Amino acid sequence: MNNNFKKIYENSIDEPENFWREVADDIFWFKKPNKILNKSKPPFYKWFEDGVTNTCYNALDIHIDQGRGDKICLIYDSPITGNKKQFTYKELRDKVSKFAGALINQGIKKGDRAIIYMPMIPEAVVAMLACGRIGAIHSVVFGGFASNELASRIDDSKAKILITASCGFEPGKTVEYKPLVDEALKLASHKIEKVILFQRSGHEVKLNAPKELSWDEVLSNAQNVDCVEMNSNEFAYILYTSGTTGIPKGIVRDIGGHIVALKWTMKNIYNIDTDDIWWSASDIGWIVGHSYIVYAPLFKGCTTILFEGKPVGTPDAGVFWKIISDYKVKSLFTAPTAFRAIKKEDPEGKFFSKYDLSSFKSLFLAGERADPDTIKWAEKLLKVPVIDHWWQTETSWAISSNCTGIEMMKTKYGSACKAVPGYDVKIIKPDQTLAKPNEMGDIVVKLPLPPGTFPTLWNADKRYEETYMSNYKGYYQTYDAGHIDEDGYISIMSRTDDIINVAGHRLSTGAIEEVLSEHQSVAECAVIGIADKLKGQLPIGLITLKAGVDKDNETIAKECVQMVRDKVGPVAAFKIAIVVKRLPKTRSGKILRGTVRKIADSEPYKMPATIDDPAILTEIKEDLIKNNILKD
């Protein structure tokens, strides 16, 4: 056991208030907090209650105050368009403060919500930070979501303004945002007051003033504005994530704890200092993008890369190595699926050998289970530590990781390493007792959660309490299952709810089922995530038809696929719907999704004792074989 890490970890668990009081000294406060943790209303804990600070000040202004205004903070590289740009802290601060002024001119005040639906361009980062500057709460929506999803976020957040761009670029296609936004505004019952749209060069779209204004127009008469003072427990942002129903959950982040925890992680987990170049190849629409493209690296004062491209096809499987080599990146954080994509295209690492990667020191993977094969392949190629770490939108930073800035720990393949300081992780078995080493169970974290996690859900305290804090009193239920070994290494094995992980993207099978049920010919449906070599998991839908339907099965299946694409979005990667005669159920009518998933993945399964008609499983197996999901 490593003494330095052990000491720090134990201190964080035994004396959380002292631990975080000290860490909090490292950030800028207008007023330093005296009250470190308010525990009076569990599970609603409050960190740094009487502290006053500002997200944007800590991301930008502080570094200028400290004489680092001319240091590059943001590098934008877009192999998909050929554009590249770099911004110093001072340049980015000026852009942000002017756009913040433009938001004020549009009537945006402290506490108002702003939806940001943008591709991976610097203006998206500017919009996020500008919200923080004036105390508006942003809610970034991933570009791969369709209008329906955008509309549900508009309705739940009751946003006043929507900030978007004319388009995004995906390999081989242009994603037109304006029609998606128009449709979402029609679908939403809450009415957005203003839309600001950034016109991408060569892709300008028509706007209808006075409600729709261009980015340049709103900037033309805007003044630079300063950061407002924010109470530590006011919200920095809402990030919606899949829940077990179609209604997404608005994860909220409070301001003070977010800055304190994220800044701490840059050195302690990732071993990044102010002079380092850091790259998180994700999307600002996901939590990894929020925390590690934008906030944590800027709080730390290092350089972050905004990459508008894909691991393969923009233009080739060497683009990651090119970025690392061009900018002397020290560490990269991405999802295992990105490495599986590179490995598939270039298993021998031929592209890799063309670049100088001497600056590169570590690779961090998260978002889904990192299969040992991919880790070993990456280790062999890169000859640097490849670190699997585990976290969730709910927490915004790693729950378990190798804390490389404290002590480098050994890798155990298949494990996401040990609990990070601040997280007291336990495994609870179905009989509610604590598991022994290596015993499987639900992974929970003892309350209070550390700063920077989620104090509640947007406008849904009850849902927060019931969903996450009720099944195991005194613990946060992660909805991941796994085990911890005798050395404290945590292995994350599966989700315990209906969430699946498709190319590192979190999706609810329940939400896809809701869409399928809307098809007029569909009687019942079940969506399951089946194993996929590239994306980890892929959703497939099994549907039964209403009596008297006279359309052919193929047409109905195609329509179902299109409906999911239109309503959830292309990111769901929903391409397979199979019409079956019957769905396997228990005698009480519960669809046996888990058993079907095991059959589809050729895993051993036990015939459920409560199954209504075992013959249905044989029918399903035959259907899966017919559709090439399962080999004969």
Query: Would you tell me which residues interact with ligand AMP (CB under 6 A)?
Result: 241, 287, 366-370, 388-393, 416, 478, 480, 492, 495, 501, 506
- CB 87, min distance to ligand COA, A: 22
- CB 480, min distance to ligand AMP, A: 5
For residue 284, the partner it binds in ligand AMP, ligand COA, none, with Cβ less than 5 to 8 A by kind, is none
Under 8 Å between Cβ of 325 and 356: yes
Q: Which residues contact 374 (CB under 8 A, 6 or more apart)?
A: 336, 339, 340, 343, 365
Nearest CB to ligand AMP, comparing residues 259 and 507: 507
For residue 506, the partner it binds in ligand COA, ligand AMP, none, with Cβ less than 5 to 8 A by kind, is ligand AMP
For residue 282, the partner it binds in ligand COA, ligand AMP, none, with Cβ less than 5 to 8 A by kind, is ligand COA
Q: Distance between CA atoms of 290 and 465, rounded to whole angstroms?
A: 24
Residues of this chain, 281-340, that bind ligand COA according to CB under 6 A: 282-283, 286, 288, 310-312, 335, 337-338
Nearest CB to ligand COA, comparing residues 31 and 344: 344
At 413, list the tokens: 């393949």
Nearest CB to ligand COA, comparing residues 405 and 570: 570
- CB 475, min distance to ligand AMP, A: 15
Q: Which of 16, 135, 144, 452 binds ligand COA (CB under 6 A)?
A: 144
Binding flag, residue 183, ligand COA (CB under 6 A):
no
Eight-class DSSP state of 400: B
CA dihedral 191, 193, 196, 202 (to 10 degrees): 60
Site string for ligand COA, 500-539 (x = CB under 6 A): ---xx-----------------------------------
Residues of this chain, 342-381, that bind ligand COA according to CB under 6 A: 367
Segment interacting with ligand COA (CB under 6 A) among 182-190, 384-392, 545-553, 569-577? 569-577
Nearest CB to ligand COA, comparing residues 61 and 283: 283
Binding flag, residue 246, ligand COA (CB under 6 A):
no
Under 8 Å between Cβ of 467 and 506: no
- CB 578, min distance to ligand COA, A: 19
Largest Cα–Cα distance in the chain?
74
Nearest CB to ligand COA, comparing residues 56 and 335: 335
Phi first, then psi: what are they for 183, rounded to 5°? Answer: -65, -40
For residue 501, the partner it binds in ligand AMP, ligand COA, none, with Cβ less than 5 to 8 A by kind, is ligand AMP
Sign of the C-alpha dihedral computed for residues 76, 77, 81 and 83 taken in this order: positive
Q: Which amino acid is at 282?
A: S
Binding flag, residue 170, ligand COA (CB under 6 A):
yes
Q: Distance between CA atoms of 531 and 598, rounded to whole angstroms?
A: 10
For residue 241, the partner it binds in ligand AMP, ligand COA, none, with Cβ less than 5 to 8 A by kind, is ligand AMP
At 607, list the tokens: 């015939």
Nearest CB to ligand COA, comparing residues 29 and 454: 454
User: Kind of pairing, strands 441-446 and 475-484?
Assistant: antiparallel
- CB 133, min distance to ligand AMP, A: 27
Q: Which of 168, 422, 452, 541 binds ligand COA (CB under 6 A)?
A: 168
Inter-residue long-range contacts of 8-12, CB under 8 Å, 24+ positions, other chains counted: 8/268, 8/403, 8/406, 8/421, 9/418, 9/419, 9/420, 9/421, 11/421, 12/421, 12/422, 12/450
- CB 337, min distance to ligand COA, A: 4
Nearest CB to ligand COA, comparing residues 182 and 226: 182
Nearest CB to ligand AMP, comparing residues 102 and 398: 398
Eight-class DSSP state of 172: T
For residue 259, give the H/E element and its range: helix 255-268
- CB 186, min distance to ligand AMP, A: 28
β-partners of residue 87 are 74
Q: Which residues contact 301 (CB under 8 A, 6 or more apart)?
A: 62, 63, 66, 68, 71, 73, 89, 274
Nearest to 591 by CA among 617, 560, 568: 617
Residue with tokens 């993977």: 365
Q: Which residues contact 373 (CB under 8 A, 6 or more apart)?
A: none
Binding flag, residue 95, ligand COA (CB under 6 A):
no
- CB 571, min distance to ligand COA, A: 4
- What is the 3-state secondary structure of 47-114? ECCCCEECHHHHHHHHHHHCCCCCCEEEEEEECCCCEEEEEEHHHHHHHHHHHHHHHHHCCCCCCCEE
Nearest CB to ligand COA, comparing residues 176 and 603: 176
Binding flag, residue 175, ligand COA (CB under 6 A):
yes
Binding site for ligand COA (CB under 6 A): 143-144, 168, 170, 175, 282-283, 286, 288, 310-312, 335, 337-338, 341, 367, 503-504, 570-571, 573
